Amino acid sequence: MHIFKETTSLRNFLITEQNSSKTVGFVPTMGALHDGHLALIKKSTAENDITICSIYVNPTQFNNSDDLDKYPRTIDKDINLLENVGCTAVFLPDDTIMYPEGKNKEDLIEFNFGSIETVMEGAKRPGHFNGVGIVVSKLFHIVQPTKAYFGLKDLQQFLIIRKLTNALSFPIDVIGHPTERAEDGLALSSRNMRLSESQREIAPILYKALQETKNILESSEDVEKAIEKGTQLIDETNQFQIEYLEITDTKSLKKLDSYSKGQNYAICVAAWLGNVRLIDNILIEN
């Protein structure tokens, strides 16, 4: 597996491959890789001639410096995992490569993603999606992939990246992959590494709450009642601080005022477990 730390060598490698009409799959990550990331790599290797994975903890998408400092970094382990699943190359830029102009948020370009960025994660993490938009745009320009792969656990991020891709006319097929879960239902996430043993045992309650919300919604067709029951299940643990539990349209993320059988929707949750913030969702597409 090739390892690149700066742009020129990566681009030279990619130009050679692309001149041979090879398709390029791309999986951008912030490292601390788990089976969810590896599922994206495997999907890319199955659908493309070569696969590039980037590992970069992007500072501009964090609005909490403590969260940035504590984000897990496991580069050596990540490289071994990527080699084992047949990744062609890994791109390991640092801040000077990604932000030669500096990373002061006040000096960076600003994106406006419309109403889709003002709800849920956008409401709770101001500026987060602007940082995501900047770094993904830079990476897309550098790699120029045929296809790019993202996990649907970060549903709002996926929708914003797809909107970004369309708005800027990137000739890239943006592909979402279903959430990978542990046997007990917990959505795989790099942040799970920060959970204590007791927190890890209770964390799957979030997924159970999503399922309970779905069951109540489809049996009662009452949006408020479904959210109330799901929230109650989480609150009964006395361990979580819920930021939101919402039932939304799957594409616009607008809250559902009412529900009828056969309707497409997403149930999304974010909550703090100790000092670890977890998100999850389930998508219902009939």
> Are residue 40 and residue 135 in the same domain, yes or no?
yes
Judged by DSSP in three states, 20 sits in coil
Closest listed residue to residue 16, CA positions, set 28, 2, 32, 29? 2
Q: Which domain holds residue 61?
A: 2-177
Residues involved in catalysis:
37
State whether 88 and 201 are in the same domain: no
Judge if 132 and 234 occupy the same domain: no
CATH number at residue 209: 3.30.1300.10
Clarify whether residues 173 and 203 are in a common domain. no
Would 24 be classed as within a structural domain? Answer: yes
**pTM across the whole model:** 0.96
Residue type, 65: S
Q: Is 258 annotated as a binding residue?
A: no
**Domain identity same for 172 and 194:** no
For residues 25 and 71, state if they share a domain.
yes
pLDDT in tens, 259-276: 998 899 999 999 999 999
Whether 127 has a binding-site annotation, put simply, is no
| Whether residues 63 and 135 fall in one domain | yes
Q: Are 41 and 180 in contact (CB under 8 A)?
A: no
The reply, when asked if residue 32 is annotated as ligand binding, is yes
Neighbours of 4 (CB within 10 A): 21
Q: 170 with 44, same domain?
A: yes
Model confidence pLDDT, tens digit, residues 174-217: 999 999 999 999 999 999 999 999 999 999 999 999 999 999 99
Is residue 194 domain-shared with residue 173, that is, in the same domain? Answer: no
What's the mean pLDDT when you consider all of the chain? 96
Whether residues 48 and 6 share a domain: the answer is yes
